[in-house]
């Protein structure tokens, strides 16, 4: 190392060449490190955007209750972000309609649903919340109620609910589809 220092000190031209080479190497290393930093930044941004999109992803679920005193169908959002309903349709394999209530038999005077929803297209569901599509509640000792309950079960058992939805980034996700055949398990 001392010999190199002595050689550079004795010859000014060699010192300039050595300084130019050292400067070029330093510049090349600076350029290389800035390229690596740019790649890391771009990659981090891409992963962050993917994470952000997944962290607000809705997860729809059609769930139902089939009890002796209650029949209920609802659309629930089990995801981490708002579920924006584009279109909900209910079909029997031959025909589709825009709401579950369109498929239900008429109720006699004095008998009502505990809750129901009409067309839900364009509505949003916050994470952990739901929209009740149909809720029928009554006394299982009342023969009028039990007859209607069984008619509703038969009507529901033939149906399938299909939900087209998006997230807050307007990403159209795969439709969620669920058969309501479970309601037919008690029918003869």
Residues across the chain: 188
For residues 70 and 36, membership in a common domain is answered with no
Is residue 180 a contact partner of residue 75, using CB atoms and an 8 Å limit? no
Strand order in the sheet with 115-116: 60-66, 70-77, 130-137, 115-116
For residues 46 and 131, membership in a common domain is answered with no
Specify the pTM. 0.74
Note down pLDDT in tens along the chain; length 188 residues: 677 667 666 777 777 777 888 888 888 999 999 999 899 989 888 888 777 766 789 999 999 999 999 999 999 999 999 999 999 999 999 999 999 999 999 999 889 999 999 999 999 999 999 999 999 999 999 999 999 999 999 999 999 999 999 998 888 899 999 999 999 997 76
Domain containing 69: what range? 60-186
For residues 51 and 65, membership in a common domain is answered with no
For residues 95 and 115, membership in a common domain is answered with yes
Question: How does DSSP assign 4-55, residue by residue?
Answer: HHHHHHH-HHHHHHHHHHHHHHHHHHHHHHHHHHHHHHHHHHHHHHHHHHHH
| Separation CA 184–CA 101 (nearest Å) | 18
For residues 10 and 77, membership in a common domain is answered with no
For residues 48 and 6, membership in a common domain is answered with yes
* Number of structural domains found in the chain: 2
For residues 77 and 154, membership in a common domain is answered with yes
For residues 79 and 48, membership in a common domain is answered with no
For residues 86 and 159, membership in a common domain is answered with yes
For residues 80 and 130, membership in a common domain is answered with yes
In the prediction, which pLDDT does 7 show? 66
Q: In this structure, what DSSP letter does residue 99 have?
A: -
């Amino acid at each position: 190392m001392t010999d190199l220092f002595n050689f550079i000190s004795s010859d000014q031209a060699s010192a300039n060449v050595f300084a130019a080479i050292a400067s070029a190497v330093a510049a090349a290393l600076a350029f290389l490190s800035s390229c690596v930093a740019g790649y890391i930044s771009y990659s981090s941004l891409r992963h962050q955007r993917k994470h952000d999109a997944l962290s607000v992803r809705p997860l729809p679920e059609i769930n139902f209750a089939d009890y002796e005193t209650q029949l209920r169908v609802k659309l629930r959002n089990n995801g981490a972000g708002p579920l924006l309903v584009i279109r909900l349709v209910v079909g029997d394999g031959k025909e589709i309609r825009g709401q579950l209530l369109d498929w239900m038999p008429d109720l006699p005077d004095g008998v009502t649903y505990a809750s129901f929803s009409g067309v839900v297209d364009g509505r949003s569901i916050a994470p952990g919340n739901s929209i009740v599509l149909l809720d029928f509640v009554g006394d299982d000792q009342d023969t009028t109620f039990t007859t209607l309950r069984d008619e509703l079960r038969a009507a529901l058992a033939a149906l399938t609910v299909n939900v087209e939805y998006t997230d807050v980034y307007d990403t159209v996700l795969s439709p969620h589809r669920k058969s309501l055949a479970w309601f037919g398990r008690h029918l003869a």
